[in-house]
Structure 1
Amino acid sequence: MSEEHAILIGGALLAAGVLCSTLATRVRLPALIALMAVGMLLGTDGIGGLHLEDYELARTIGVVALAVILFEGGLATGWAPIRTVLRPALGLAVVGTMLTAAIVGLAAHLLFGLSLLEGLLLGSILSATDGAAVFALLQGASLRKRLALTLEGEAGFNDPVAIFLVLGFVEWLLLPDYGVLDMAKLFVQEMGIGAVVGIAVGTLAARSLGRSAFTTPGLYPVASLASLMLAYGLAATLHGSGFLAVYLAGLAVGSVKTPERANLVSFHQGLAWVAQVAMFVMLGLLVFPSQLPDAALEGTVLAVVLMLIARPVAAFVGTTGAGLEPGERFLIGWAGLRGAVPVVLATFPVIDGVPNSLEFFNIVFFAVVLSTILQGTTVEALARRLRLTDP
């Protein structure tokens, strides 16, 4: 492909992303569904005929996009609001994610004849809520502030836990000597290093942005982008969670009182939308629609287990003692939106050569699309019915 053709296609995809996102918002459909549909339409089985089977490229694009999206989520909120809901957000992100993985994994093991470890890997992939989907939902919804902040905080802290589970079970499947103690060590390492790096980089970036008087306002976005890249890169280099680091850094930078804060938020919102368009379309290209009917039964069953059993149980346990009303806990149990994160995580076992991983990818994609459509289009209506909205 020539340079001019690549630029033309890139511009067309961004324009399609803007159009799809606008239309999806008007019909209350999650934008990721429309963008993935564009990718599938352009793919091998669609009219575009673009062939993509490079899972490593897909994972790289997905990781970069998720880092950008998580940083923007933290930046737009700041530490002070998230601190007020830290207890339920962390309960959902840690305890809730692990419970979701266990329940879905056990269902996959019992219903589909997978080994227990294979089932837990599949459950871990599906345990992740999606920051892009949740942030987009909250921007256009009128949920109570505490409820919205709880869901936003969970989406920010949830991804590192799900990734830890996926990495751990992949290792456990491939290495016979791997076990529970190794998983525990990996958890401490990932979360500990990610938290330390995120807080350190975020604190330094916040102080620098708060005290600096740059000669041009255009340098503020450059400095914040540098903090994003340093946080993720340093944490990942030290074998910690880069996603936890970027979210914490984003929260710290979002707490800075500077005249340029509004411009920073606008810049990173635009960057996050570019990341979403690239990631969702790429994931759509990666899917072969002709193969999805083979995964329909497993994907539907796991989506039902996820929506009606695993997520409600995880939400109830994760928010115990957090002072939330029964209606709020019920809504949280329905509002665990899936999206690009589980699909990106499904590329990890494919790249590492885990048996049955290609089937897992199609099952995950089918389950994600089904649960996203059903939950994403009904969350606000349910919130209104439960009287959990603000004017």
Structure 2
Amino acid sequence: MTQDVVSLGWAVLVIGAVMAGALALHPLSRRTRVPAPAFFLLAAAVVSDFVPGLRNIPIETVQRVVTIALIFVLLDGGASLGWRKLRHSLAAASWLGLAGTVLIAGAIGALAHLLLGFAWHPALLLGIALAPTDPAAVFSALGRKEISGRTGVLLDAEAGLNDPVGIALLAGVLEIGGRTAGAAVGHVALVFLEQITVGAAVGVGGGLALLYVLRRIHLPGQGLYSLAASSGALVIYGLATVAQGSGFLAVFITGAVVADRGVPFEREIERFHDALASLGEIAAFTALGLTITLRDFDELDAWGRGAVMAVLALLVVRPAVLMLLLQPVRLRTGERLFLLMAGLKGAVPILLGSFVVTGHEAAGRSIYAIIFVVVAASILIQGTLIPWLARRCGVPLREAPPLRPWPLGVRFRKPPAGVHRYEVQAGAAADRADVHDLDLPGTVWIALVIRNGALLIPRAGTRLEAGDEVVVLTDVESDEFIDTIAEYFDTR
């Protein structure tokens, strides 16, 4: 065999081994409550120190890999929320994602300038990089439990929005150049507004266009519909980016617009993108870990300065800013406290740090190393305490439904109007209620109940329980009416 074929074989072997190792770490993550991304990131960083050849990957290549990975992570994040769930908390989530990111970035930047001695420009870059959060790390820390109610929606939506906001803000600050203070602020504000406005517009318009295409396109195989949705997301990201907007915000909004809107092979598309998002998470953290050289951290004084910034960013700045911003939002005290402390850092801060390095910022290497220490501390320490914090704050948690590998499905040639599926939440009107005693509208009836993976036929005397999945039939399809039905099963 030629040397090229052997080299390709080694590359495929390494990639397969990394993926297999990452999957094998998930059970360990559940047992230790340490989020799985921590293992990917730290293992790659340690391995790159012992295998110097791995550090030869150009950082620009890593940025491209992570960018593609984040497209699918954010698309899946928007789809997991869905427009019907998101719109009830859209104002609060936008407030946290936009104003929160700007204020947190400014506050961390000011502290980095005053305490670490960075000049204002690199200090602001550090603050912006440390502002975004990662809900995937939170959900990984919770294991088989999920956050229910409005708290989970706000946490997920805030992270989905503050990632593209942070990236847009960094783009503006990197382009400041030699401008005066007033001109610099105006330039950053202009770039930021352009990125967010164009990204949101392309996301809504592209999402509606993709929804239209998926409903009307005729493809020969069901797997092709998942690929059509993926290619549509890539096109939307590209359009938003070429138009000087935030492609990441566009794909997040696209996911929310398309989800739960009745497209062919919807469940198959969801499962495909969930797998892509999981692969993207593994790829992003592993690739970013390979860019870290731990042996240089002592020279850069990264450990000490990173520890200081971790304490300030995680325990001082975010809680103080969110305490202010959450004042008009209706939440219980425990839920409010949980949101203050549950903003784990993830792949996006390290990606932003890599942009600082390639932007030829003089302090880029120091900033990059500090960001790595803060992210590692957030995932390892803060992430491990998330389950305990949720219990102490009384945040409603529910067991994630167990894996059910054997499906029962019915296929239709046309969209099955009037069929909806809900999960009964603890404390909802339907919880512990007889199906015949529920005061449902006359045009609504419960067709099936799924409990612990078993099918129940609802009869007089069938009492619903929290965790039951309920299939509802109705001949009225307005959003307001569907929201009314959902209130019987949900506690939002």
**TM-score bin, normalised by smaller chain:** over 0.9
> Could you say if the C-alpha distance between residues 102 and 140 of structure 1 is closer, same or farther in structure 2, counting changes exceeding 3 Å?
farther
8 Å contact 2:135–2:155 — kept in the other structure?
no
- In structure 2, the residue matched to 1:88 is 92
- In structure 2, the residue matched to 1:155 is 159
Does residue 195 (structure 1) correspond to residue 200 (structure 2)? The answer is: yes
1:97-246 alignment runs, 5 A limit: 97-134=101-138, 136-137=140-141, 140-172=144-176, 174-177=177-180, 178-246=183-251
- In structure 2, the residue matched to 1:370 is 377
SS in structure 2 opposite 1:142? strand
> Could you say if the C-alpha distance between residues 386 and 131 of structure 1 is closer, same or farther in structure 2, counting changes exceeding 3 Å?
closer
- In structure 1, the residue matched to 2:61 is 57
Supply the distance in 1 between the matched residues of 2:179 and 2:61 (Cα, whole angstroms): 29
1:343-362 alignment runs, 5 A limit: 343-362=350-369
Supply the distance in 2 between the matched residues of 1:257 and 1:137 (Cα, whole angstroms): 32
1:375 Cα deviation from its structure 2 partner = 1.6
Percent sequence identity over matched residues?
A: 34
Describe the superposition over 1:298-326 as per-residue Cα deviations: whole angstroms up to 9, x where unpaired. 10001000111111012212222121122
Higher percent of residues as strand:
2
Supply the distance in 1 between the matched residues of 2:191 and 2:130 (Cα, whole angstroms): 20
Describe the superposition over 1:196-243 as per-residue Cα deviations: whole angstroms up to 9, x where unpaired. 111111001112223445332112101110121011000001110000
> Could you say if the C-alpha distance between residues 128 and 109 of structure 1 is closer, same or farther in structure 2, counting changes exceeding 3 Å?
same
Structure 2 counterpart of 1:196, which letter?
Answer: A
Supply the distance in 2 between the matched residues of 1:243 and 1:137 (Cα, whole angstroms): 24
1:330-349 alignment runs, 5 A limit: 330-349=337-356
> Could you say if the C-alpha distance between residues 138 and 190 of structure 1 is closer, same or farther in structure 2, counting changes exceeding 3 Å?
farther
Does residue 383 (structure 1) correspond to residue 390 (structure 2)? The answer is: yes
Supply the distance in 2 between the matched residues of 1:48 and 1:253 (Cα, whole angstroms): 44
- In structure 2, the residue matched to 1:265 is 270
Which gives a bigger RCO, structure 1 or 2 (Cα 8 Å, sep 6+)?
A: 1
Does residue 16 (structure 1) correspond to residue 24 (structure 2)? The answer is: no
1:68 Cα deviation from its structure 2 partner = 1.1
1:49 Cα deviation from its structure 2 partner = 5.2
Of stretches 276-285 and 258-267 in structure 1, the one that deviates more from structure 2 is 258-267
Structure 2 counterpart of 1:63, which letter?
Answer: T
> Could you say if the C-alpha distance between residues 185 and 14 of structure 1 is closer, same or farther in structure 2, counting changes exceeding 3 Å?
same
CA RMSD of superposed structures (Å): 1.8
Unaligned runs of 5+ in 1: none
8 Å contact 2:203–2:250 — kept in the other structure?
yes
Say how many residue pairs are matched: 389
Structure 2 counterpart of 1:110, which letter?
Answer: L
Structure 1 counterpart of 2:179, which letter?
Answer: P
Higher percent of residues as helix:
1
Supply the distance in 1 between the matched residues of 2:41 and 2:83 (Cα, whole angstroms): 32
1:64 Cα deviation from its structure 2 partner = 1.1
- In structure 1, the residue matched to 2:261 is 256
Describe the superposition over 1:95-123 as per-residue Cα deviations: whole angstroms up to 9, x where unpaired. 11111111111111111111222211111
8 Å contact 1:197–1:234 — kept in the other structure?
yes
Supply the distance in 2 between the matched residues of 1:48 and 1:112 (Cα, whole angstroms): 31
- In structure 2, the residue matched to 1:35 is 40
Supply the distance in 1 between the matched residues of 2:122 and 2:384 (Cα, whole angstroms): 31
Does residue 69 (structure 1) correspond to residue 73 (structure 2)? The answer is: yes
Describe the superposition over 1:251-275 as per-residue Cα deviations: whole angstroms up to 9, x where unpaired. 1121322452221111111111111
Of stretches 362-371 and 288-297 in structure 1, the one that deviates more from structure 2 is 288-297
TM norm structure 1: 0.95
8 Å contact 1:52–1:285 — kept in the other structure?
no
1:248-327 alignment runs, 5 A limit: 248-258=253-263, 260-293=265-298, 294-327=301-334
> Could you say if the C-alpha distance between residues 237 and 35 of structure 1 is closer, same or farther in structure 2, counting changes exceeding 3 Å?
same
8 Å contact 1:71–1:250 — kept in the other structure?
yes
Describe the superposition over 1:368-391 as per-residue Cα deviations: whole angstroms up to 9, x where unpaired. 101222221112211111211244
> Could you say if the C-alpha distance between residues 92 and 232 of structure 1 is closer, same or farther in structure 2, counting changes exceeding 3 Å?
same
> Could you say if the C-alpha distance between residues 92 and 137 of structure 1 is closer, same or farther in structure 2, counting changes exceeding 3 Å?
farther
8 Å contact 1:125–1:166 — kept in the other structure?
yes
Supply the distance in 1 between the matched residues of 2:72 and 2:124 (Cα, whole angstroms): 28
Supply the distance in 2 between the matched residues of 1:118 and 1:302 (Cα, whole angstroms): 14
Unaligned runs of 5+ in 2: 399-492
8 Å contact 1:70–1:247 — kept in the other structure?
yes
1:50 Cα deviation from its structure 2 partner = 2.3
Supply the distance in 2 between the matched residues of 1:196 and 1:135 (Cα, whole angstroms): 29
8 Å contact 1:121–1:165 — kept in the other structure?
no
Of stretches 336-345 and 372-381 in structure 1, the one that deviates more from structure 2 is 372-381
TM norm structure 2: 0.76
Structure 2 counterpart of 1:123, which letter?
Answer: G
SS in structure 1 opposite 2:330? coil
1:29 Cα deviation from its structure 2 partner = 0.8
| Structure (1 or 2) with the larger CA radius of gyration | 2
SS in structure 1 opposite 2:222? coil
Supply the distance in 1 between the matched residues of 2:290 and 2:92 (Cα, whole angstroms): 36
1:138 Cα deviation from its structure 2 partner = 6.5
